[in-house]
Amino acid sequence: MNRPTARNEDAPPLLDRTARVGEVLVLLGPTGAGKARLLSRIAASDASAENVVQDNLGPRPRVGRVGPEGLALPGSIYDNVALALRALPKAPLDLVDRVETALRQAALWDEVSNRLDEPAAQLSFGQRQRLSLARALALEPRVLLLEDATNGCDLVTSQRVESSLRELSERCIVVFATADPLRARRLGDRVAFVHGDEILECSATEDFFTRPENSRTAEFLGGPRGVR
């Protein structure tokens, strides 16, 4: 299977200075800071007719987005992942391979491989979140925007997904929004602090947690029980 790779120039306009291929960028901020709105703005800033991927799969959106709601669309687990591939102008011949690969990348394959025909609605919340991720990954996006997409998973599963995301970051720009500093530290290569729908500060993970430059960042991370 031909695996296209994103370039730094593929970053949406709002992330062109912060996101890079080969790194996971984490948008960190308290609840209500505007992380979801910022992701929406990023997706919208990229949603134009020119910003589509044109390769052997045919024209499709450059940005894949996964929300925290763990949404299962009607139909089977297989249907959910194959949905977008079938909608392409020319359905890929290796559709089955792509569905399986997406499910493996989303760390869901082992749990559903023997029940792909079952309705997706029967999956647990954490599984549905990973199904959403698989659905987005099936289209091989150049930019992947995730909003707390593993908050329904246990620690071990979260770490499997995060490991998969780190692998994916080698060929696509991965942006993960969360309010959890521990997850941000575990997953991110770079961390950006979001407040009021804007990025206030962005630096390498270690620098971000040990030497925050912005007072709001320090306040969010600080205190005797902070993660520093």
182 contributes a contact to another protein by CB under 8 A: no
84 contributes a contact to another protein by CB under 8 A: yes
In the list 20, 35, 65, 128, the residue contacting another protein (rule: CB under 8 A) is 65
Least separation in angstroms between residue 223's CB and another protein is 35
What is the DSSP track for 71-98? PPPSSBHHHHHHHHHHTSSS--TTHHHH
43 contributes a contact to another protein by CB under 8 A: yes
Cβ atoms of residues 138 and 102 within 8 Å:
yes
Half-sphere exposure (Cβ direction) of 215: Cα atoms closer than 13 Å: 0
Least separation in angstroms between residue 178's CB and another protein is 19
199 contributes a contact to another protein by CB under 8 A: no
78 contributes a contact to another protein by CB under 8 A: yes
Residue 20 is encoded by which pair of tokens? 């890079």
In the list 55, 110, 117, 213, the residue contacting another protein (rule: CB under 8 A) is 117
Closest to 129 (Cα-Cα) out of 108, 111, 99? 108
In the list 121, 171, 199, 216, the residue contacting another protein (rule: CB under 8 A) is 121
Closest to 192 (Cα-Cα) out of 34, 37, 28, 36? 28
Beta-strand ranges (E) seen in the chain are: 24-28, 52-53, 60-61, 63-66, 143-147, 173-178, 190-195, 198-204
Please give the residue ranges that form the binding site for another protein (CB under 8 A): 1, 43, 60-61, 63-65, 67, 69, 71, 73-76, 78-79, 82-84, 87, 95-97, 99-101, 104, 113-114, 116-117, 119, 121, 132, 135-136, 139
